[in-house]
A and B are shown apart, each in its own frame.
Chain A
């Protein structure tokens, strides 16, 4: 730059060739600095890319196996004595049957040489307690199988599952792994018969929370998230659009509207956990909304989503050209009619895009929901916005704390499901923007 400066200042006195010779070394140094700077940029991009790839890879690698589970095929005798001791073959009578006994008998039949009480207990531990539910469901769906004998695939326990997925090292000393040597031998014998198989894990998608990893599923959390999102949407969409319409179309410029604007901008930056404190103090303790209910969670999330929706809606309203408003006013429409009939329909794609993005943020939000009791351990699938529930991100947080090896896998799989929902929502938002975006 100094070179150039000298040339310029010397222009009048001596226009011709007094330009200093380009110093080769200096130029090379400058070019080297240029390349170094550019390389820094590439490295920065590389760091961000590697971080993302690492994160996604570690989650997929840890979790993809959770979508399948190990099942063991056993020859089960549906003994009428055990299942229907009172007779009658009604669902009520069948509900009292001893289904645990069924699979235990089947295991004893298969390994007739196991006599010792302790050994037997170790043998039964190969199967999950969920096997009982499997059998019960089978009998309920088809009571005529009582009294017959059938080959049935039953849910294996989480330790067996981990072993067959290679997450428990069978070469380690017996004391350091949860599977004992004798159990290993039984599993190998079953596997040699072709009685062990991994299949798609439907329970993961249909069950609620459980302390047993192989019985735990995300359906309860998904329903909780669904109800909370519904509440959030029903509250924040009308209020947010209403506020934006007022601020953009009606509000006079005065102190009050300035105050509202500053407020909205600041609310967008308030840490989410502070909204949780607000929810605890006001929504739970003052208004008395039930703890752990999606209604309370949805209300807190609605307050957090409001600034996003308001800001997006205002941008969308601003993008509608004033000529449209003026034309409508010119033919006698009232201001509200102008907005309802012309401005809002034209701004709708932008509003919806902003709303979807706000909802996606709300769906991934965890911290404020911890404050209002959505961390409770809830087995039942929530049926309405007032029943206690948890949501998907909170379920992820809860599972990540569990000591069992198998929950790491479940957590990663739940994260994949959550990310899947977010990808879908964002894809819809991008599609809407592409399809309906109009430039005037």
Chain B
């Protein structure tokens, strides 16, 4: 992925304006194509009417379908060439720029060449001033901008020509006997299939990007050093002779920290969530329920960045102060503060899931137990909860996977330094915190440091996926028992 990386120049309208004015940016081209196909729709409809002499009964399809037929012919080929062009153009432009470089620069090794290309792109983009670059780089950057501008201009011409050609073709096909509806519906069917495949493509994209980058990471750092190492210090020194030049990537402290914070969160969320679900469904009268349900829904709707702010600026200082009052040393980024707030965030998640699960227990079981003289709490404790246990287990599993993947609370309230400890008063770091810190800011896409984030992401993805699959499986099997 590296070789075609970071080619933003060609999207950037203003980047080009600095060099040569583009005829049309990709964004305005899309708008133009859409406008043209709207025109094509009305054109096709009117033409169909005209051909039928104003009597739509003599047409095969309703007039709108003739419009849609023309619009599809106008838009689809042009949009297709648009997508294809944008994928190919950067590679072509770059190879032309390289071939135009002076001989000495053209014959660099692949590593140096990619650095050089990066420089050229940055200058072309206006990120670096062209005055400070070497004349060759500045010339190449100008060349790149010119080529991109030409490319975009050519794309605009080609796409618009194709749109007009498509419309002209549709015009020749338009006739009262044309089976426009069938054609349009077949196309729409295909588009619907494409829409539903996007979910698959997303998953494939996630898996491929994580796996490829992780493989490259494990090419630099042995797999077992990563999963079994107990030291994590990804800072790589600038020069090879400095201490810690390579960085150490043992992920155990991160897993331990994640587990610690997750455990604290679950200790708060499970009892509170479960008991409030029980109270709301079995004890509370409707007015209380109407008042309390929204509270839980609001808790669920608050963005995590707000929880993070709350944890870092309100809860953590409070715990630190309380700790000082009783003589405990609580770190200002303690696992306890992050875990507590994460627990609060997860309460509504647990309560709504366990509410569903307990409602799924057949009323007959409940009635039977009550008819035998059991009190409400005895019914819940001895009949409902055992029957709902698999579902509640699944709910907790989903909540754990949610807690593991939660990012903002821990980024803002947990520590940065990897610390292998089980003491909730100390600062620990988590997998998600490390992903964010490794990737924020500019970085080389090749270094072990950046790739490590993808390896951690892969661990996270696999872990949460496994938990969700197990949880869904448990829920499904359990539901079937009573249906």
Contacts and interface: CB of A to CB of B under 8 A. Distances in A.
7 contacts: A264-B199, A295-B11, A335-B185, A393-B305, A394-B305, A419-B302, A422-B303
Contacts of A408: 313
A364 interface: yes
Interface in A110-144: none
A408 B468 CA distance: 38
A51 interface: yes
Contact of A242 (B196, B205, B212, B310): B196
B440 interface: yes
A245 B188 CA distance: 11
B100 interface: no
A59 B314 CA distance: 9
Interface stretch (A64-72, A99-107, A191-199, A283-291): A283-291
Contacts of B407: 271-273, 366-367
A289 B86 CA distance: 11
B202 interface: yes
A263 B432 CA distance: 23
Interface stretch (B74-82, B323-331, B371-379): B371-379
Contact of B445 (A37, A285, A387, A393): A285
A38 B283 contact: yes
A243 B195 contact: yes
Given A1-B373, A42-B279, A263-B203, A48 B11 contact: no
A257 B435 CA distance: 34
Interface string A1-39: 101110000000000000000000000001101100110
Contacts of A293: 11
A397 interface: yes
A47 B151 CA distance: 62
B199 A289 contact: no
A273 B436 contact: yes
B145 interface: no
Contact of B373 (A3, A54, A242): A3
A324 interface: no
A246 interface: yes
A400 interface: yes
Contacts of B314: 54-55, 58
B296 interface: yes
A418 B1 CA distance: 36
Interface centre among B193, B198, B278, B299 (most CB of A within 10 A): B198
Contacts of A411: 309
Interface in A323-349: 334-336
Interface residues of A, number: 100
B192 A277 contact: no
Contacts of A367: 304, 407-408, 411, 432, 436
Nearest to A239: B195
A62 B313 contact: yes
Contact of B1 (A285, A336, A371): A285
B375 A52 contact: no
Contacts of A246: 192-193, 195-196
Given A367-B408, A400-B308, A45 B292 contact: yes
Contacts of A307: 199
A269 B276 contact: no
A334 B347 CA distance: 47
A277 B137 CA distance: 31
Contacts of B25: 386
B199 A310 contact: yes
A76 interface: no
Interface centre among B192, B453, B469 (most CB of A within 10 A): B192
A31 B378 CA distance: 10
B465 A41 contact: no
B199 A419 contact: no
Interface in A272-304: 272-278, 280-282, 284-291, 293, 295, 303
Contact of A365 (B87, B303, B348): B303
A280 B347 CA distance: 32
A336 B188 contact: yes
Interface stretch (B2-10, B159-167, B169-177, B416-424): B2-10
Nearest to A394: B305
Interface string A407-440: 0100110010011001000100000000000000
Interface centre among B10, B202, B464 (most CB of A within 10 A): B202
A254 interface: no
A189 interface: no
B439 A247 contact: no
B404 A49 contact: no
